[in-house]
Amino acid sequence: MLALGKLLELTLAGHEPAEKTQLTVDGVRLRWLAEGALEVKPPEALDNGTDLLLSAGIHGNETAPIELLDELIQAIAHGELKPCARILFLFGNPEAMRRGERYIEQDVNRLFNGRHEQSSSAEAVRACELERLAATFFSVPDRQRLHYDLHTAIRGSKIEQFALYPWKEGRRHSRRELVRLHGAGMQAVLLQNKPSIVFSAYTYDKLGAESFTLELGKARPFGQNQQVNLTPLKALLNNLIRGTEPLVGDQIDGLKLFSVSREIIKRSDAFKLNLPDDVENFTVLEKGFVLAEDVSSSRWIVEEEGARIIFPNPGVKIGLRAGILIVPTTDEQLR
């Protein structure tokens, strides 16, 4: 196997490869761009015009998607997986990956779309580098741009695998992309309706990609992800890489759609989230429930029908969201 096929091993060891560019026997070019960053380019005659960005490890302890990308990279380096798409593989936060922690100083996935400019931390520098790598990769005109940012959650979930679809004013969400996601094992999609500072929002808003944050189960250490079923997602990624994606219709029956009703923002150290520590994502909340309280007697009371909570985390820094209140929606606004 080509040495660059061991990108995960190199990243976890903190090593820079001696040889930055290698070719498989089939003429596929692997090029090391930076720590945790590998570009894969098929032979020109086989290139189908797709640019596919696959990122994982934005949170260092979310190992199942990291292991999935490692399997794909190794298969390409062995010559077992023959790409017809350009691919950029990114391991987002190498130092956090090495320590087995979510992040070191700052959550990298809260540092995009200009937010990194407000900090001088190593993770802010990394977020800036990830933006640069993505922007360069997606700079070739007239190509299909697709980005999957792969995560696992810090808590359990009533709906185990789901996607977050970013928002941009004047741009409608794609039914075709939701069909893909449903086929890849996603049980629900959150259609966002305001700007965001996560990685997929950056590539969607600024680079014109169809971009998604995929939540794939609960975070576990390396080698302990047997309970995370990534078989449907792996099948989709293999087909996208090979250019062998089967034709499908436009039906998304069975896929649950949600929209954001409100974000719960932590304003002070007095913030209190009135949920148990082990509450699961997509837990249903009763109308009238006092969800959270903060300084100056401010309160978040559930007023919405069918409201659910995702990403509840009262331990975030002041000014960041401590949870998202979501409600069911329909597919009427899809294109």
**Residues taking part in catalysis:** 215
Question: What three-state secondary structure class fits 321?
Answer: strand
Phi, psi of 31 (to 5 degrees): -135, 120
| Nearest-angstrom CA–CA distance, 222 and 199 | 23
| Contacting residues for 331 by C-beta, under 8 A, at least 6 apart | 175, 178, 252, 257
Would you put residue 228 in left (φ > 0), alpha (ψ -120 to 50) or beta?
A: beta
Task: Retrieve residue 56's tokens.
Answer: 């994982």
d(CA 19, CA 37): 14
- Distances, alpha carbon 182 to alpha carbons 65, 236, 294, 324, in Å: 18, 10, 38, 22
Q: Alpha-carbon distance 69 to 81, whole Å?
A: 13
Two structure tokens written together for 129: 């580098």
Candidates 310, 93, 71, 114; CA nearest to 202 is: 114
Element (H, E) at 76: helix 63-78
| φ, ψ dihedrals at 23, nearest 5° | -120, 140
| CB-based contact 73:7 (threshold 8 Å) | yes
Q: What is the largest CA-CA distance in the chain?
A: 67
Instruction: Map residue 66 onto helix, strand or coil.
Output: helix
What tokens appear for 215 in the block? 């939540």
H-type alpha helices, 93-248: 94-99, 122-137, 175-183, 199-205, 231-242
Helix (H) or strand (E) holding 13: helix 7-13
